Amino acid sequence: MKGRTFTLWFSYGKYQFRKLVPLILVLFVLACEKKLDLSGENEEQPGKEEPVTEKKEFTVMSFNLRNEGKNDPQTLDQRKENIREIILDNDPDVFGVQELAADWMSEWLSQQLNEKGYDKYLSSGQFGSPKIIYYKRGRFTRTNQGTFQMEFSDNRAGTWVILLDKETNSRYFFCNSHWTNASSIDREKTANVVLNVVKANSKGVPAVVLGDFNSEPGSIEIGIIKNSSGLNLTCAHGDKGNTYHVWTGIGTKKIDWILHSEELLVTRASVVTTSFNGHYPSDHFPIKATFLLK
């Protein structure tokens, strides 16, 4: 009798266990989900600090576009599409141009770039050709700006801006200028003018100083702007890469520069030697550098 009772209980218990299996599985899954929630990825932890915004690279370019010249292999009108193309192909976040003196060309290029998402800073009343700084409005907001003059043998001008990176909330100072080719003495004075502009307006934020300096590595004026600033400005290209090629495609000297302060790390830098069916957009190669805030 006892054996029969045990058999019946076992059969009944086995039947009940089978009925409970789905419920046990559901409870197991819920327990696993609860455990994942407690890991903190799906639930806020009291007192947990907000994550630091991810650092993001930005690319800077400097480009002397070359004013109209009667002995040039192409007119500015013939070159304008290639100028536009080489800028857009390299996709800089911020860039400065020199020798954009013709009003019609300045208006045309600015309209083309505006359609691609670029705003610009250009102050009126400058000496010499305008020194425009373009920047992607989707990435940056301009918070301050200014123009300065360099009045020596010939009158030159420069521009500067402070841009707020909307993706990282970091601020950067950019300065664009075109130095005289009249004499080294005048360029030494110019270097000091640019230095004073950077010191007075950068407000301690990372700085990028670019342009056509008409000065080669090792010159006194390059030594002044790099080493006399207290900012420890460094060439993004390591003082290498000839940029002036006189329409031949073979660089003969480095006179275009992108300098940066020590808070910025160079991740890539190059001289852009692109031609279009054998034609170059300018007698200068554009240069570019990509930076990351340290």
- Residues 78 and 24 placed together within one structural domain of the fold: no
Tally of domains within the chain = 2
Alpha-carbon Rg for the chain, nearest whole angstrom, is: 31
Q: What is the pLDDT of residue 78?
A: 98
Query: Which structural domain range is residue 195 located in?
Result: 58-293
Q: What is the pLDDT of residue 96?
A: 98
User: CATH code at 160?
Assistant: 3.60.10.10
- Residues 135 and 34 placed together within one structural domain of the fold: no
Mean pLDDT value across the chain: 85
42 CA to centre of own chain: 35
Among 255, 232, 208, 203, CA closest to 92: 208
Q: What is the pLDDT of residue 124?
A: 65
- Residues 162 and 271 placed together within one structural domain of the fold: yes
Q: What is the pLDDT of residue 125?
A: 62
Residue 229 belongs to some domain of the structure: yes
Burial (Cβ within 10 Å: 0-12, 13-18, ≥19) of residue 197: buried
- Residues 25 and 168 placed together within one structural domain of the fold: no
- Residues 133 and 255 placed together within one structural domain of the fold: yes
Per DSSP, the three-state class of 151 is strand
- Residues 70 and 211 placed together within one structural domain of the fold: yes
81 CA to centre of own chain: 23
Q: What is the pLDDT of residue 43?
A: 36
- Residues 78 and 223 placed together within one structural domain of the fold: yes
Positive or negative, the CA dihedral 201, 207, 210, 213 is positive
Task: Please enumerate in sequence order all residues whose Cβ is within 8 A of that of 291, keeping only pairs 6 or more positions apart, or say none.
Answer: 57, 58, 59, 60, 208, 236, 260, 264, 265, 266, 267
Q: Which helix (H) or strand (E) holds 115?
A: helix 103-115
Q: What is the pLDDT of residue 106?
A: 95
Q: State pTM to two decimals.
A: 0.81
- Residues 269 and 189 placed together within one structural domain of the fold: yes
Q: What is the pLDDT of residue 229?
A: 66
Q: What is the pLDDT of residues 38-85, one digit of tens each?
A: 333 333 344 444 344 578 999 999 999 999 999 999 999 999 999 999
- Residues 2 and 143 placed together within one structural domain of the fold: no
Q: What is the pLDDT of residue 135?
A: 98
Question: What average pLDDT values come out for the chain (294 residues) when binned by 10 residues?
Answer: 40 45 48 40 39 79 96 97 98 97 95 98 74 97 95 89 98 97 94 95 96 97 87 95 98 98 97 98 98 96
